[in-house]
Structure 1
Amino acid sequence: MGWSLSTKEVFMVLSWAAFYTIHSVLASSKLKRFLEDKWGISKKTYRLFYSLISSITFLGIGIQILYLPPKLIFETIGISEKLGYFMATLGVILGIRSFKHISVGEFLGLNSTPSPRADLIQSGLYAWTRHPMYFALFLIFLGYLGVSGTMGALIHLVCLIIYLPVGIYFEEKKMANEFGDAYRLYQKNVPVFFPNPIKKGPKPF
């Protein structure tokens, strides 16, 4: 067992940093408007480009994970392993359900004609947390750490935790610009990340 990082593990950290940086830059509303005004790039084309770049960079990380030697930092026996499987499974389920109100084709930029602006989603998982997709990813990564107990799993989780405040900040800013007072009221009613039964939104499942 050891906590020092190998060269491959350091490269994994840098790869996650690059992935999250690219994700934040490409998700910027200012960049979208600049490219649309200066170069005439449509939202559909930009979304397709964004999805392609994200997929390629994430695939690169996936390949690194396959070749990253497992280094145990704690034994995965008993309750930690069971909790890990539970959290990872719950995260997958929540991740799938968080896409319930989202068009996958439009999300990836594949729709030929984007749908008109929809109402702010406040039902289902969005009545419990404003960012169910991020929360689902957190559970998956945390569960993976509990199951594997490896340095690689810890790196994935820590990099995600460091990125979450940044990703949430830009997402909140974009949503506030798009939905105005409706989203600001939603922010008051629903927790930003961890679900809170006491502070639950007005629209239940």
Structure 2
Amino acid sequence: MNYLLLALSWIIFYTLHSVLAASKIKRILEGKLRNAYKWYRLGYTLVSILLFLGIMVQALLIPKSILFPKGDLTDYLGYMFAGFGTIILTKSSKNYSLKRFLGFEPSTKEDETLVTTGLYSKIRHPLYAGLVLIFLGYFLFSGTVTAIVHLACLLLYLPFGIYFEEKKLVNQFGEAYQKYKLAVPSLIPSFW
């Protein structure tokens, strides 16, 4: 039952993430909130952080149930994947203003440009790829059922998250994003 509630919490988190980031919802709220809309991104960020922290507390309260015995190899692989994921997240977020991302600085249409350089020239969604590696690393390091629930929920969400994100990007950048989408893989880089 604990794992089902944990999965349900992730479903709520990911659903809210996609719904609240949708362009249509943003337009509706912008019309209703008017001047207060400038605080929308900050509110969105705070809700996301609180839900994420709630999920982490919930996961800590679940008794540990080990799926496989830990060893030096699983520890090494866990650290390696999580480390690579952290590097990918860090490098891919350098193209964004942290203040703007968190909602402390308003975003304007002039600020929004299609980034296709750096890691974005290899994969379209390096933030998601980094998260997958971090969650995979955590699972290999801990070997718990809780960790596999975290990873499974992320992997199940990604096709939906990517679909809605790309729909928004096609509306925003048009043919430029369509060409980028055809040239660059979504999550797994193509080195040949």
Larger CA deviation: 59-68 vs 74-83:
74-83
Pair 1:114-2:84 in alignment: no
| Structure 2 residue 38 is the aligned partner of structure 1 residue 80 | no
2:190 to 182, 188, 196: 196
Q: Which region of structure 1 is more displaced relative to structure 2, 149-158 or 78-87? A: 78-87
Question: Which of 127, 130, 137 is the matching residue for 2:124?
Answer: 130
Paired with 2:50 and 2:163, the residues of 1 have a C-alpha distance of 24
Question: How far off its partner does 1:105 sit?
Answer: 0.6
The 8 Å contact of residues 16 and 61 in structure 1, kept in 2 or not, is answered as yes
Where in structure 1 do 4 or more consecutive aligned residues deviate above 6 Å? none
How far apart are 1:46 and its partner, in Å? 1.4
Larger % of helix: which?
2
Q: Which runs of 5+ in 1 are unaligned?
A: 1-6, 199-205
Query: Which stretch of the first structure deviates more once superposed, 74-83 or 19-28?
Result: 74-83
- Residues 41/65 of structure 1: CA separation in 2 closer, same or farther (3 Å cut): farther
**Alignment partner of 2:67: what SS?**
coil
Report the RMSD for the aligned CA atoms in angstroms. 1.4
Cα separation, partners in 2 of 1:103 and 1:43, compared to 1, 3 Å: farther
Identity %: 46
2:153 corresponds to 1:162: no
Indicate which of 90, 93, 108 corresponds to 1:96: 90
Range with greater deviation from structure 2 (63-72 or 183-192): 63-72
Flag the 1:60–1:153 CA change in 2: closer, same or farther, 3 A. Answer: same
Do 2:81 and 2:137's aligned partners in 1 also have CA atoms closer than 8 Å? yes
The answer as to whether partners of 2:29 and 2:37 remain within 8 angstroms in 1 is no
Report the TM-score, using the length of structure 1 for normalisation.
0.88
Matched, 1:175 2:151: no
